[in-house]
Amino acid sequence: MPLPEFSGDQDFQLFLRKSLEFTRKIKGDVAALQRAVCDTFQLCKEEELLLVRQHLGIAQSPLEQCHSRSFQAEACFSRLCQELQSYHSSLASVRELLPAHADLVEQLQLDAANLSSNIQQQMEDLGLTTVTYPAESRGALPVFSSLFHHQVGSFFILADFQRFLETAYRALRHLAR
């Protein structure tokens, strides 16, 4: 994977170490919420819900800009910022579903927004230009036609967010020395 020229910059390395830790924190909180959804709604295995996922039309963005073969810093960082912002809003439907975990979901939303603006700020510090992508369907808050669909929708918001964080973590770790 080609390394951008600024990757040796000390501030950038500090930003990467902080962002890696922040991503680990968010991943831990998402995993805790996934356990809560499993315990509360008996929704635990993704393979049992693929038909309803397909029916609900929940798409996940592939983040190809952050994959090793086609890694491109500006595109990847821009994508991370945008996806984090959209998870910040779509997590609201998880919050409605899990009132007992509202504080944890709110923290998760704040963390997603913070990580996104931290990356945004770092791009500006490095003079990178932000690439904007067409907003995913997940941007707006989904409206679910039934409680079951709301639960399955929330299950996939968390599962996709966990996968997204995994990809982001790998991209950041690649850049960190």
Partner 1 sequence: SLGGTHGCASVAVGSPVVPLGSAVTASCTVRSELCRGLERGKIRIAWMLDSEPMAGSQQQGPGGTEVSNLTVPHFNRSQARLWCLVEWNGTRQRVGMAEIQAGYPPAKPSNLTCMLNLSDYGLTCQWERGADSLPTAVALKCATSRAQREATGEAVTGCTPRGGGRRCTVPRRLLQLYRKMEIWVSARNALGTAESERLCIDPMDVAKLDPPTLQSIRSVPYQTDCISVAWEAARTSAHMELQCELRYRSPEDLAWALVPGISGQARPTQHCGFLFGTQYHFQMRCRRPSPGGYWSEWSPGRNFTTHE
Contacts with partner 1, residue ranges (CB under 8 A): 17-19, 21-22, 24-25, 27-28, 41-43, 47-52, 54-58, 103, 106-107, 110-111, 114-115, 117-118, 121, 124, 142-149, 151-153
Give the nearest distance from C-beta 3 to partner 1 in angstroms: 22
The distance of closest approach from Cβ of residue 17 to partner 1 in the complex, given in angstroms and rounded to an integer, is 7
Q: Which is nearer to partner 1, 65 or 93 (CB)?
A: 93
Q: Smallest distance from the beta carbon of 7 to partner 1, in angstroms?
A: 19
Distance, in Å, from the CA atom of 21 to the CA atom of 172, rounded to the nearest integer, reads 10
Tokens of 55: 């029916």
Q: The dihedral of CA 120, 92, 87, 136: what is its sign?
A: negative
Q: Which residue's CB is nearer to partner 1, number 67 or number 104? A: 104
- The smaller minimum CB distance to partner 1, of residues 72 and 130, is found at 130
Q: Is the separation of the CB atoms in 84 and 116 below 8 Å?
A: yes
How far apart CA 132 and CA 153 sit, in angstroms, is 26
- Distance between CA atoms of residues 59 and 157, nearest Å: 10
In the complex, minimum distance from the CB of residue 2 to partner 1, in angstroms, rounded to a whole number: 26
**Rg over CA atoms, the chain:** 17
- Which CB, 39 or 70, lies closer to partner 1? 39
